[in-house]
Structure 1
Amino acid sequence: MDIGVVAGVVLAAVLVLVGLFKLMWRVAEPNEALVISGSAHRTEGLGDGMGFRIVTGRGTLVLPGVQAVRKLSLDLNETQLVVDCVTHQGIPLKVRGVVIFKVGDDTVSIANAARRFLDQQKMIPDRVHIVFAGHLRSIVGGLTVEDMIRDREKLTGQTRAACGSEMEKLGLIVESLQIHEIEDPTGYIKNLAMPHAAAVQRDARIAQADANLLATEAEQAAFARMSEATRDSEILQAGYQAERDKAAAAAKQAGPLAEAAARQEVVVQETRVAELEADRREQQLQADVRKPADAKAYEQRTLAEADRDSRISAAQAKAQETELAAAAEATRVKAAAAAEAQAAETRGLANAKATRATGEAEAAATQARGLAEAEAAKARGLADAASAKAKGLAEAEAIKARAAALAENQEAVVAQQLAENWPKIVEAGAGAFGNVEHMVLLNGAEGMSEMFAKALTMGGTGLGLARQLLSSMAQSPNHPTTTAPPAPASAGEVIPISEQATGA
C-alpha cells in the first residue's frame, strides 16, 4: 500500500477523532453551571433518581444525541421594588428599594434553580419581586412610620429574614437589599418633620442674624481700618512731602553752606599753618639762641659752683683744723694744770692754790674753745660769702649772655617770648568777646571767620609792634632800661601788645 495513502488515512482518522472529541467535550464557564440530562447520574447531596448532572468550573464529556446540555447563569440579578404598603397606624406609604440576588454556588441551590427556572431565567426578577413585595407589606403593617424612618435597617433585616427561606427553596441567595425611599402621599412624614423643620428654621434664622451681625461688625471694623490706613497714608505722604521740601531747601542752601564751610576750612588750615610756623620759629629759637645761652650760663654756673664748693671745703677744713688745735690746746692746758695741781698737792700746797690753778686751766680751755668756735664761724661765713659771690657771678654771667644774645638777635628773642606767651595772647584777644551778649554779623559766616582770624592773628601784629619798639630803643642813646609794669586790665578789656611792651 502506498505510504501517502496510509498517511492520509491516519490523518483523516486523527481529524475525525479530534472532531468527535470537540463535539463531545463541554466546559463550564466561571459564571455558569452545566446541567447535563439524559442518563441516570448520582449527584452528591441530592440522592438517586435526579436524572441530570451538574458541572461547574470544569469540563466534561457529553454523548451527543444521548445527553442534553443546558447552561444556568450564575450572574448577579436585580429587581426594583415599588410596593404600596400600609403602616400599623393605617398610613399608606410607597416603599422603593432594590434587591440584588443570584443563583447559589452550591449544588443544591443550582439544582433547585434548574428545576424551577432553567427555561424561564428571564422571569426570575418578577418572581423575586412578588416574594419580596408580599413580605414587605406584611412587615410594614407591623411598624409605625417613626420606626421605619428612624430604624430603616430594622425594616431591611426583617424583610431579608422573612424572604430567606423562600429564596433558599428557589435556589437563590440575596446579596443585597436596600430601601431607597419611603413616599408619603398623605404628608404625614412632612407634618411630622414640621416642628423640627421650624426649630431648624428658627435656629437658621438666629444663626443668620448672628452671622449678619458679625458681618456688619466686621464690615464696620474693616471700614474703620480703611479710614485708619487712609489717615496713616496721608500722614506719611505729608511727612514725605515735608522731607522733600526740606531736602529741596537744603539743596538750595547747599551752595552757600559749602562755600562757607570751605572758607572756614581755609581759615582753620591757615590758623594751623600759623601755629606750625610759630612752633617752628620757637624750635629754631630754642636751637639757635636759648640752648647756646643756657649752655653757656650752665657752664659758668657750674664753674662758679665748683669754685664755691672748693672754697667751702677749704673753709670747713680750716675750721676743723682750728677746732682740733683748740681742743688739743685745751687738753694740754688741762693736763698741765692737773700736773701742776698734783705737784702742788704733792708739795703740800694749799687747796686754794690748786683750785685756782684748776680754774685758771678751765678758763684757758674755755677761751681756747671760744676762739676755735669763732674761727669756725668765720670760716663758715667766708664759705657762704664765697658761695653767694659765685652764685651772683653765675647769674650775672647768665644775664650778660642773655643780654649779648638780645643785642645780637633782638628779633629772635622777642619772637621766642611771643611764642611762649602765644596762648595767653590769643586768650586775651578772644577775651574781648567775653562780655558781648548780642552780636550782629552783616556778612554771615564770612564775617564770623574774619573776626576769629583777626583775633587769632593779633600776635602777629604784636610781633611787628615789638620790632618797631626795639628799633626805636636801639636808636635812642638814653632809653630807660626798666619800665613800670602796666596796670592790670579790667575784665573783658584787651590791651594792645604795643602798650604792654612800652608800659603805657
Structure 2
Amino acid sequence: MILTGTLITAALILLGIVLVLVLIQNFLIVVPPNRVLVISGRSRRTEEGDTVGYRVIRGGRAFRIPVLEKVSWMDLTTIPLDLSIENAYSKGGIPLKIHAVANVKINAQEPQLSNAIERFLDVPRENVTNIVRDTLEGNLRGVVATLTPEEINEDRLRFAEALIEEAEHDMNNLGIKLDTLKIQNVSDVGGYLNAIGRRKAAEVLKEARIAEAERNAEATQAEAQALQRSQVAQAISQQAILEEQNKLEVRRTELNAIQLSRQNEAAVQSELAKVRATQNFEQEQAALEAALRQKRAEAQRQARMVEAQQNAEAAEVEAQARQRATIAQTTAQQAILERENQLRVRKAELEAIAAARENEAKVSAERARVVAEQQLEQERVILNQKRLEADVVAPARARREAELLAAQAAAAPIIEEGRAKAEAVRLMAEAFRQAGPEGERAYVLNMLPGIVEQFAAAVQGMQIDKLTVIDSGNGQATKSAVQTLPANIISMVEQVENATGVNLLSFLQNTGKPQGNGASAVQPSGPGSVKPDASFGG
C-alpha cells in the first residue's frame, strides 16, 4: 500500500509538471523581430494618456490570459509595390505614363504603429498592398501635376523626393513607412518628350555644323601653317647639317694638324734625345780616353823614373825596381779596364734613356691620335643624330600634324550636315507652330501622297489579267463588286487613322472651309506648301 501510494503521488507530480509545461507553451508567446504581437482584451493607458484595449510587444516574449485576451500578429516585412499610372497630366496639360517601384512596410514606431493596428489588424496582406498602392498612385498623380515633363524626365531625383514628401503625410496616417521609391520609366503617348529630344538634337547638330565650318577653316589654316613649319624646319635642319658638316671638316683638319704636329714633335724629341745621348756618350768616351792617356803617361813617367832610379841604384835594387814597375803597370791596366767598363755601362744607360724617350714620344703620338679619333667619332654621332632629326623625325611630326588636321577636316562635314538637318527640322517645326491648324493640315496633305504610294507599293508587283464576278443568282454580284472600291478606300483611311492617329476625312472636309480668322485653307500643291520629306531628308 505504501509503494502504491508513492507511485500515485509521483504520477500526479509528473502530470502536474507536464500540465504546467503545456500551459506555459500555450500561453507564453515568443515574438520574432520581424513581427509585432498585439494582445487585445484588456484596457491599458498609453504614455500619451489615452486608454486602449490592447498591448503591443515588439520582440521578446509575453504571457496571455486565456479566454480574456486574444492574440493577433502584424507582419513587419517589406511589401514591394509596382506603381504604374497612365494619362497623368503634368504641368502644361501633357499626359504622361509613369512606371515606378516602391518598398513599404508597417511602421514599427509610435504613433504610426497604432494607426496601422487600427487600420490593418487582421486585414489580408493583399488588401493592405492594394490600399497602399492606390494611395501612392494618387500621390504620384498629384506630384506630376506640379512639374513639367522636362523636369520629370531630366531630374528624376527631385521628382522622387517630391513624391516622398507628398506621400509622407498619408503614409503616416496609414501607419506605413516608405523605405524606397524609384522612378523606372517616364513616357508620353503624344511624342512630346521625343519632340524635345529631336529639338535638342537639332540644336546640337546646328552647333556641330557651325563648328565644322570653323574647324574646316582652322584645319586648312593649320595645315598650311604646319606645312610651312615643316618646310622651315627642314630648311633649318639642312642648314644645321651643312654647318655641322663644315664644323666637322674643320675639326677633322685641326685634329689632323694637331696629330701631325705631335708626331713631328715626338720625332724631333726622339732625334734630340738620340743626339744628346750620342753627345754625352762621346763626351764621356773622350773624358775616359783622356784619363786613360793621362794614366798611361803617368805610368810611363813613373816607369821612366823608376828606370832612372834603377840605373842609379845598385844592381841589387834593379830587381825591386822591375817588380815595382810591373806592379804599377798592372795597376794602370786594371784602371784602364775599370774605365772601359764604366764607359760601356754609361753607354748602355744612355741608349736605354734614348729608347725610353723614343717610346714615350710614340705613346704620346698614339694617345693624341686616339683622342682626336674619339672627338671625331663624337662629332660624327652628333651629326648623324641631327641628320636623323631632319630626315625622319621632323617629316614624321609634320605628317602627323597634317593627318590630324585632315581627320578633323573629314569629320567636320558630317557634323555640319547634321547641324543643317537639325536646323531644317527646327525651322519646319517653327513654321508648323506658327501656322497652327492650317500648318497641321498642310503637313497631313503633303504627307498623304507618300502614304498612298506606300499602300500602292504593297500591291505594285501584282498583275491581274482578268477579274471574274460570280453571281449567286440574285443579280447583286456586280453591284457588290463596284461598291467594294469605296469601302476599301474608307478602310485604308481608317488604317491610316489607327496607325498615325490622324483623321484624314476630317482634315479633307475642313480643308475647303474658311477659318474663323479669315485665312483660307492651305493648298498642298501650291508653291508655298511645306514639304517635310525634303526637309527631313537633309
Instruction: Decide: shared fold, TM above 0.5.
Output: no
Please tell me whether Structure 1 or Structure 2 has the larger radius of gyration of its CA atoms: 1
TM bin (shorter chain): 0.3 to 0.5
Q: Which of structures 1 and 2 has the larger relative contact order (alpha carbons within 8 angstroms, sep 6+)?
A: 2
What TM-score comes out, normalization by structure 1 length? 0.42
